[in-house]
């Protein structure tokens, strides 16, 4: 019997969930990658608009905040392993709300409990690098307090991400007395092309978000950090990219594997999750 891999895809708004979903689906369908579609996928509506935009060389819209849909993709890998991949798409505001409102809708609780693997998308380019003791002298913080104090406390982007993981771990009833094997965690540094770097993904994460990385690697036995450029370049919503339209969206996009190897097979992060599974 085919195993089932339900991915808990975690990412705030604008990190690239929909475009990765659409590009992944396209790759599975053209069957030239490590993972291939081996049956009829269902519930593709979430990705059909994105797919048709990409075929014209355009980018697609933001997903409405309240949308949540799951698509089911029967897939197989080169070793003949079959699995059902349950891939969601949703408005990223839902993720931010989990943390900001500190309330978990029951639907999200079930998703966390059902998931076999966690894949977190982080777009480093759009995260604010916050001021702290290392980037500003202590007096500057004292000064803000003198002038009426900081009216509202808002956690930094990094702190919010750690908090989110803590909430998910709590919901999943994970015991942190020893490093976790399951659920496996993969962090995808999305829109990698924007970063214009030659660093290893894990080194970049550790230097840009040290607190998050420290939290992750002290709680998981083997977290994976992979660079992902689902599109390979920025696309516009209005002006079509001619090369995209001519060659097809499946000719674009790549991943940067943990060892730094660049590979055009964007199914690899998921193939690795499946291969280590069972």
Ligand X SMILES: Nc1nc2c(ncn2[C@@H]2O[C@H](COP(=O)(O)OP(=O)(O)OP(=O)(O)O)[C@@H](O)[C@H]2O)c(=O)[nH]1
Tell me which residues touch Mg ion (CB under 5 A): 17-18, 63
Minimum CB separation of residue 18 from Mg ion in Å reads 3
Residues 74-133 that bind ligand X (CB under 6 A): 91-92
- Host H or E run for residue 165: helix 157-171
Which residue, 121 or 216, has its beta carbon nearer to Mg ion? 121
Nearer to Mg ion, 19 or 184 (CB): 19
What is the length of the chain? 278
Report if residue 14 touches ligand X, rule: CB under 6 A.
yes
* CA proximity to 120, closest of 167, 156, 82: 167
Examine residue 262 and tell whether it contacts ligand X (CB under 6 A): no
Here's the x/- map for ligand X, 216-245, by CB under 6 A: it reads as -------------xxx-xxx----------
**Contact partner at residue 19 from Mg ion, ligand X, none, CB < 5 to 8 Å by partner kind:** ligand X
Instruction: Using DSSP bridges, classify how beta strands 117-122 and 3-10 pair: parallel, antiparallel or unpaired.
Output: parallel
In the complex with ligand X, the residue whose CB is nearer, 28 or 83, is 28
Kindly identify the residues of this chain, within the stretch 171-200, that bind ligand X according to CB under 6 A: 191, 193-194
d(CA 177, CA 150): 36
Of 5, 19, 111, 224, the one binding ligand X (CB under 6 A) is: 19
Task: Tell me the residue nearest to ligand X as measured from the CB.
Answer: 92
Radius of gyration of the chain (CA): 19
Residues 244, 206: Cα–Cα separation, whole Å: 34
User: Residue 62 or 247: which CB sits closer to Mg ion?
Assistant: 62
**Closest distance of CB 14 from ligand X, Å:** 5
In 100-193, at which residue ranges do the beta strands (DSSP E only) sit?
A: 117-122, 184-189
Residue with smaller CB distance to Mg ion, 223 or 253:
253
243 Cβ partners below 8 Å, 6+ apart?
57
**258 counts as binding ligand X under rule CB under 6 A:** no
Residue 269 in the binding site for ligand X (CB under 6 A): no
Give the Cα separation of 33 and 14 in Å (integer): 26
Q: Where are the beta strands (DSSP E) in 158-233?
A: 184-189, 224-229
C-beta of 17 vs 184, nearer to ligand X: 17
Q: Tell me which of Mg ion, ligand X, none is bound by residue 194, counting a contact when its beta carbon lies within the kind-specific cut-off of 5 to 8 angstroms.
A: ligand X
Q: Token pair for residue 3?
A: 């195993």
Q: Are 273 and 119 in contact (CB under 8 A)?
A: yes
Q: Would you say 101 or 139 has its CB closer to ligand X? A: 101
Phi, psi for residue 196 in degrees, rounded to 5: 45, 60
Q: How far is the CB of 143 from ligand X (least distance, A)?
A: 36
CA–CA separation, 189 and 226 (whole Å): 6
Applying CB under 6 A, the residues found at the interface with ligand X are: 11, 13-19, 59, 62-63, 91-92, 191, 193-194, 229-231, 233-235
């Amino acid at each position: 019997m085919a195993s089932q891999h339900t991915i808990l895809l975690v990412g705030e708004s604008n990190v690239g969930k929909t475009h990765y979903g659409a590009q992944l689906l396209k790759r599975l369908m053209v069957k030239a990658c490590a993972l291939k579609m081996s049956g009829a996928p269902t519930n593709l509506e979430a990705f059909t608009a994105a797919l048709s935009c990409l075929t014209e060389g355009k980018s697609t819209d933001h997903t409405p905040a309240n949308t949540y849909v799951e698509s089911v993709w029967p897939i197989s890998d080169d070793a003949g392993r079959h699995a059902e991949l349950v891939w969601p798409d949703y408005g990223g505001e839902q993720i931010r709300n989990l943390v900001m409102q500190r309330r978990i809708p029951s639907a999200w609780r079930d998703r966390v409990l059902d998931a076999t693997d966690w894949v977190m998308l982080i777009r480093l380019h759009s995260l604010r690098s916050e001021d702290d003791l290392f980037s500003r002298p202590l007096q500057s913080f004292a000064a803000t307090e003198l002038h009426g104090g900081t009216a509202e406390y808002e956690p930094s982007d990094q702190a919010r991400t750690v908090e989110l993981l803590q909430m998910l771990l709590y919901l999943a009833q994970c015991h942190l007395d020893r490093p976790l094997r399951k659920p496996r965690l993969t962090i995808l540094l999305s829109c990698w092309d924007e970063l214009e770097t030659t660093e290893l993904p894990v080194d970049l994460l550790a230097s840009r978000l040290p607190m998050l990385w420290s939290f992750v690697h002290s709680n998981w036995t083997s977290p994976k950090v992979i660079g992902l450029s689902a599109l390979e370049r920025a696309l516009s919503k209005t002006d079509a990219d001619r090369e995209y339209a001519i060659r097809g969206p499946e000719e674009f996009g790549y991943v940067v594997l943990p060892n730094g190897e660049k590979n055009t097979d964007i199914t690899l992060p998921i193939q690795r999750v499946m291969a280590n599974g069972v």
